[in-house]
Structure 1
Amino acid sequence: MKKAMTMTQKILASHAGLDYVEANQLIKVKLDLVLGNEITTGMAMKELNKLESQSVFDKRKIAIVPDHFTPCKDINSAEQCKIVREFAKINDIENYFEIGEMGIEHVLIPEKGLVIPGDLVVGADSHTCTYGALGAFSTGVGSTDMAIAMASGKAWLKVPEAIKFELTGKLSEWVSGKDLILNIIGKIGVDGALYKSMEFVGDGVKTLSMDARFTIANMAIEAGAKNGIFLIDEKTIEYVKDKTTREFEIVEPDEDAYYSEVYHIDLAKIKLTVAFPHLPENTKEIDVVGDIEIQQVVIGSCTNGRMEDLRIAASILKGNRVKKGMRTIIIPGTQKIYLEAIEEGLIKIFIEAGAIVSTPTCGPCIGGHMGVLGSGERAVSTTNRNFVGRMGHVDSEVYLASPAVAAASAITGKISSPLSVVIK
């Protein structure tokens, strides 16, 4: 009798050339894509130089995206990017994206069609788990593992146990995928899915946009998960069909697949949620937040820098002004999204509201540039982490929220619900 498997097990089994894999089994898998940015690729190159073969296994299956400190903020970052740029040129890396064609890596890679359903992807960045929104297995690895993966096209992985999230219903007005994943992390904690697969299934999945799914899968790592993955449906297929010529298989979990835990979530009951400092699990629903003054708002990142996010922010900021002195920074995830936002008139709305718009970059999310916080300052941010010193000074504070809450907070100068702002 054929043994039942989860989505993650099926993808791992197929890439290991096995009929079946079980939780905690150590397997060697073939990779469809290896990803790095300017920081992690530089470190991986040092390890690659130690290997007998210093060339990459397939120039079409490596992607490098300088996005963390670019456009280069100082001499050190410029030198780092120069080294990585030269490496990409020497190895004729086809999927190298920098200034002018770049984007935040986890927004750009799906946009380019480099990941499709059923793929197995590793990347030297923890938020590589984003691509699970497409029904792929994707996970972050260290730079040493990236070096081995670039050279061999293979990786050793331990098969994770899985947690099922059975979604029903539909999210209420203004409530988004960000609120859902913050709510989940608030319930299970930052280690609640430690080295496990978070599998999102149920009728509620079809009510979630692809942008919402990317946001949710992106933050699976904030619950300690090895990966997050969604059922493949019509929206998934519609998203990828014009982006690739590769054939893909629709992977579904077996009905009797084993899950270590099962959570039933009615999307209609999810409320606007904010993660307080200094952990993503420190969540509160917006109606019990109280008056917390802020000095900065950031809308963007690999979590919430997509078109849906910008449209939501614009719908709240249109006809309004950010509070005097409020530093409001909006960062489209890619050049394509930036251009689309210009064509829709969203950028005009942001500027007229008193915000600034940046070229795609991770900058403020990691306290790198384009919005570093000083001592005692607070920010509402649509990014994914709010650890001590994450966005700047160790005495600063970051409150994680959705684009709707961030935009409303920019107007009022304190953490606010969009329901408290007059939408003009």
Structure 2
Amino acid sequence: MRDFAKANNIDFWEGKGVCHQVMIENYVRPGELIFGADSHTCSYGALGAFGTGVGCTDFLYGMVTGTSWVLVPESVKFNLTGKLQEDVTARDLILTIIGEVGANGCSYQVMEFTGEGAKTLSISDRMTLCNMAVEAGAKTGIFEADEKAMDYLKEHGREPKAVFHSDPDAKYVREYTFDLSKVRPVVARPDFVDNVVPAEEACGIEINEAFLGSCNNGRIEDLRVGAEIIKGKKVSDKVRFLVVPASQTIYRQALKEGLLDIFMEAGAIVMNPNCSVCWGSCQGVIGENEVLISTGTRNFKGRAGHPSSKVYLGSAATVTASAIAGKIALPSEI
């Protein structure tokens, strides 16, 4: 891969982060159509781009010809109102949405996030929502590229390709309304992302590992949340706690802010930027009958290790609190 990239003048990001975070930080522009060889390419809707995952054959054809075809998907409107409470995250919001619409609730459709509540969400929050759109079966998730998106682009030295807005008379196959102020911390239980319950219902389940990272929740905002909770405390001696920044940029920012010191002093294992245990790579693979609580994207059977293991999905706050308690817990219990 190194030789191929060098020979063809291709940027090579070995060891510098998860592809979706690297893409958002360095490449994605509003108005672009972007194919990726990973299903969470839908993350790029956070900046008003149409990102979608495709198979190897379609991806190769796109690389060789610069063209492809996409069946134009229908759109589902998610009208967001209000504002998230302080102890609630965008992670809780997207799990709540998936829990309501179901894992196949938006199959081959666009999840369009809009409304006054959408404007209150940061680019990191928007990435969290769009990233997991595929977990509802969606072709992509997307936000309108507003002032926050334009400011992000400017900070990263880019200009939009095009800025699109939905027509006033746009047709949607379905519409949902979510009041952000009413969203509460939730957990997705094994072995399906839409098996969502209030976090309190999962509290007390003993864990063997906790994971804070991935393309869904490995950003600086997530690390700040975790560091604030664990500062001055210790990871349970029954638990491995993996903290994995999503990119080298985030890693260095966390280093600068002293967040990594806080995690390490608490007994966490701080990793280099990568996908890690989210998909069961060599770092932190869980063993037979072990239980993981994770900020990763999926909790399918065998996703993070042995087929008999169990994966629960929660927010950075819930995962960190659980690492301290040795069982699924909320920060208020610590």
Give TM-score scaled by structure 2 length.
0.98
Report the counterpart of residue 88 of structure 1 in structure 2: 5
Question: Does 2:96 match 1:196?
Answer: no
Report the counterpart of residue 313 of structure 1 in structure 2: 226
The 4+ residue runs of structure 1 with deviation greater than 6 A are none
Q: Secondary structure at the match of 2:305?
A: coil
Does the aligned pair in 2 maintain the 1:382–1:400 contact within 8 Å? yes
Whole-Å Cα distance in 1 between the matches of residues 182 and 248 of structure 2? Answer: 35
The number of residues matched between the two structures is 334
Whole-Å Cα distance in 2 between the matches of residues 363 and 172 of structure 1? Answer: 30
Residue 242 of structure 1: how far off its partner (Å): 2.7
Does the aligned pair in 2 maintain the 1:129–1:137 contact within 8 Å? yes
Question: Does 2:28 match 1:98?
Answer: no
- The residue correspondences of 1:15-414 to structure 2 (distance < 5 A) are 84-93=1-10, 95-99=11-15, 102-112=16-26, 114-414=27-327
Does the aligned pair in 2 maintain the 1:380–1:415 contact within 8 Å? yes
Whole-Å Cα distance in 2 between the matches of residues 269 and 341 of structure 1? Answer: 31
Name the Cα RMSD after superposition: 1.0
Residue 246 of structure 1: how far off its partner (Å): 3.6
Whole-Å Cα distance in 1 between the matches of residues 244 and 4 of structure 2? Answer: 28
Does the aligned pair in 2 maintain the 1:330–1:356 contact within 8 Å? yes
Residue 361 of structure 1: how far off its partner (Å): 1.1
> Rg: which structure is higher?
1
Q: Secondary structure at the match of 1:258?
A: coil
Does the aligned pair in 1 maintain the 2:187–2:199 contact within 8 Å? yes
Whole-Å Cα distance in 2 between the matches of residues 214 and 205 of structure 1? Answer: 12
Change (3 A) 1:389 1:297: same
Identity %: 49
Whole-Å Cα distance in 1 between the matches of residues 218 and 146 of structure 2? Answer: 23
Could you list the per-position Cα deviations for residues 87-137 of structure 1 after superposition, in whole angstroms to 9, with x for gaps in the alignment? 2122221x22113xx21111111111x111111100011010000000110
Whole-Å Cα distance in 2 between the matches of residues 247 and 368 of structure 1? Answer: 35
Moved more, 189-198 or 411-420: 411-420
Whole-Å Cα distance in 1 between the matches of residues 205 and 158 of structure 2? Answer: 50
Does the aligned pair in 1 maintain the 2:41–2:51 contact within 8 Å? yes
Residue type of the partner of 2:70? L
Residue 247 of structure 1: how far off its partner (Å): 4.3
Q: Secondary structure at the match of 1:158?
A: coil
Give TM-score scaled by structure 1 length.
0.77
Residue type of the partner of 1:88? A
Does the aligned pair in 2 maintain the 1:127–1:221 contact within 8 Å? yes
Q: Secondary structure at the match of 1:249?
A: coil
Does the aligned pair in 2 maintain the 1:205–1:231 contact within 8 Å? no
Does the aligned pair in 1 maintain the 2:153–2:159 contact within 8 Å? no
Residue type of the partner of 1:315? E
Whole-Å Cα distance in 2 between the matches of residues 256 and 159 of structure 1? Answer: 18
Does the aligned pair in 2 maintain the 1:167–1:265 contact within 8 Å? yes
Could you list the per-position Cα deviations for residues 325-354 of structure 1 after superposition, in whole angstroms to 9, with x for gaps in the alignment? 310000001111111101100001000111
Whole-Å Cα distance in 2 between the matches of residues 116 and 277 of structure 1? Answer: 35
Whole-Å Cα distance in 2 between the matches of residues 294 and 173 of structure 1? Answer: 26
Residue 385 of structure 1: how far off its partner (Å): 0.4
Residue type of the partner of 1:313? G
Residue 201 of structure 1: how far off its partner (Å): 0.3
